[in-house]
Structure 1
């Protein structure tokens, strides 16, 4: 069947019209929704309110009196260390009575030397003294008799002078013999090595049976058992640490000891620009966790001052800095970069100036960004963090 060209064109136009009508009929149900979605500007009057990002708690910064401290590092050393040595020469060490770590009293016997040689020398000195005294007594009697014959002319003046000189010489020999005996008695006392002061034995080189020379060190003694913390303080901070300042010394194990500044070095190291501050600590026996030679850190208690503090949970660390999220009147939050200071318990000092009526977000602060809308609840009965 032959269909004319105008008929085909008309049929095509009819089909096109039908297809267009069907397309618009299919879009019809969606038109109300599309007409209801307006731009943000046109939606303001009748649009529903924005939903908050989180439910949070807030708190006001509080003023508190905090302890002002200065941190430092240093070594724990003996207050004074005494060297206890031998005063006798060439004697054999017979007994050692103490060991490292023993607490001793002033005058306590630490070690003894064999006394046989000293006893023999002392006996000889006593005999020499007795002989000198006898000789002196005889010479004195002869000189006295010679002086009685002075006026008779039986003896010449020269002979009388000789007898008098002999008596004086004999007396001098007695004194010399007494000095020798005294020296031997001192050697006898030196056969006992005595503690020069109260303290604790920190080192021992004495060995039973050894023959030592005079001056050989046998023991080292921490005098009075006192230790001190030698803290390094920079020259800029040195003026803040006068004598008598309390300090807390903390060992590597965490043990804490209270002490006081005994002295401040008058010299500053030109290399480190730091000076040594000497902190006296209590008796060594009471501080089993603190030993001489240990490295320790500590804090000097410089006094107390007022500070503005916030809960530690309200501080948000980001990108190496600390921030607070402040609640605005429209319940949105603004991010503020801050500097922190001292910490006491769960509160942290804020050194950055805050608005007088500032309120900081506490619970949920770490999940918020600048400009987020929040819902505030009472901190005593917090709601779930995520808004529904």
Structure 2
């Protein structure tokens, strides 16, 4: 059996449909800006300095307490008193001994004057006259000793008043009413001036970039943000952790409290950065990419190395050549080589 196939002459071949863009995109160019360098750190909050107030005299009972934990005190303010009855009695005794020593000295001087007059007539030997002069010297020494004992007793009497050694906030109190204290017992502990500081921990590489006076910002556990300044950079590193402390002074009226743990950042001098909008960077398979636009309106997926992030922008450390047109947003919907249509940007470039 023969099969005949009819062919129509003049039939036109089918025309390929025009290729449409897969996505309309906005494009921007990378910009160079001066950005502050930030060092991220964490560390404990601790008093700037503490003052320990001890009992300077012993074997006395605490008679009253005038301050408690949290009290804000001024230098010289009364914190507690010790029972002073026995010391007052000792003072009166020493006053009487001083008066007795004064009287003995006057008697010795009077005898010496009479011996001098009698001795001029030859009635006393030189040895006897020397004895009177020695008695005057001994009486003077006794008076000086009595006055020193009186001064010592009065110092002990003043020490029965426990006072603040500086302005600050009472952070601890071990003094108990009625307790008999010994000399050297700790009674109170103060945070000097009420100042708290942040002790940020840094490694050796970070530490080399920090200097006194630099601004630091930290976030407290309650979410409050506090600004401070670097006061001191530790000259040594901990041999066990290989980290060092940077001491950052905080305002005295900040909500920071000793014992808190905070994280934050230290601002270093500004450095030039090549930046793109953060929406231009996409993450695929654990790597960062941007899409650049070629003259033929096709995009190219380029791997980049990113650095700092600031104000909705990202620093590009490598992988991007200038000048290049970069897709601002929507890279997650693009593939390498996709055709796009460019629309005018309605958002100011960061």
TM-score by length of 2: 0.91
Rounded Cα–Cα distance in structure 2 between residues aligned with 1:274 and 1:234: 5
Give the aligned partner of residue 149 of structure 2.
180
What CA distance in whole angstroms lies between the structure 1 residues aligned with 2:162 and 2:240?
A: 43
**Could you tell me whether the CA contact under 8 Å between 2:45 and 2:260 is conserved in 1?**
yes
- Cα shift at 1:122: 0.8
Is the aligned partner of 1:321 residue 2:287? yes
| 1:126 corresponds to which of 86, 91, 95 | 95
Q: Contact conserved, 1:55 with 1:364, CA < 8 A, in 2? A: no
| Structure 1 residues without counterparts, runs of 5 or longer | 1-12, 382-388
1:1-388 to 2 correspondence within 5 Å? 46-283=15-252, 286-288=253-255, 290-380=256-346
Q: For the aligned residues, what is the CA RMSD? A: 2.3
* Secondary structure class of the residue paired with 2:96: helix
SS in structure 1 of the partner of residue 205 of structure 2: coil
The alignment of Structure 1 onto Structure 2 pairs a total of residues equal to: 345
Kindly indicate whether the alpha-carbon contact (under 8 Å) linking 2:76 and 2:164 is maintained by their aligned counterparts in 1.
yes
Structure 1 distance, partners of 2:136, 2:273, is 91
Which structure shows the bigger proportion of residues in helix conformation?
A: 1
Cα deviation for residue 210 of structure 1 reads 0.9
Offset at 1:316? 0.6
Q: Work out which of the two has the higher radius of gyration on C-alpha atoms and give 1 or 2.
A: 1
CA distance in 2, matches of 1:270, 1:181: 53
Query: With structure 1 as the length reference, what TM-score do the two structures score?
Result: 0.83
* Alpha-carbon distance between aligned partners in 2 of 1:249 and 1:144, rounded to the nearest angstrom: 82
Q: Classify the secondary structure of the residue corresponding to 2:119.
A: coil
2:83, 2:207 → 1: CA distance? 54
Task: Decide whether the 8 Å contact of 1:76 with 1:228 is kept in 2.
Answer: yes
Deviation at 1:142, TM superposition (A): 0.8
Which secondary structure does the structure 1 equivalent of 2:315 belong to? strand
Distance in 1 of aligned mates of 2:345 and 2:218: 38
Q: State the distance in 2 between where 1:328 and 1:208 align.
A: 84
Are 1:69 and 1:302, in contact at CA under 8 Å, matched by a contact in 2? Answer: yes
Q: 1:67 touches 1:304 (CA, 8 Å); kept in 2?
A: yes
1:353 shift after superposition: 4.6
CA distance in 1, matches of 2:60, 2:297: 91
Q: Deviations over 1:224-267 (max 9, x none)?
A: 22222222222223221122222223323332222222222222
SS in structure 2 opposite 1:139?
Answer: helix
CA–CA distance in 2 between the matches of 1:358 and 1:120? 93
Give the CA deviation at 1:129. 1.0
1:223, distance to aligned residue in structure 2 (A): 1.5
- Cα-to-partner distance string for 1:46-69 (whole Å, 9 max, x where unaligned): 422212222222222222221112
Structure 1 residue 318: Cα displacement: 1.0
Q: SS state of the match for residue 162, structure 1?
A: helix
- What do the CA deviations read for 1:112-165 (whole angstroms, capped 9, x no partner)? 112211111111111111111111111110111111111212222222222222
Q: Separation in 2 of the partners of 1:107 and 1:174? A: 33
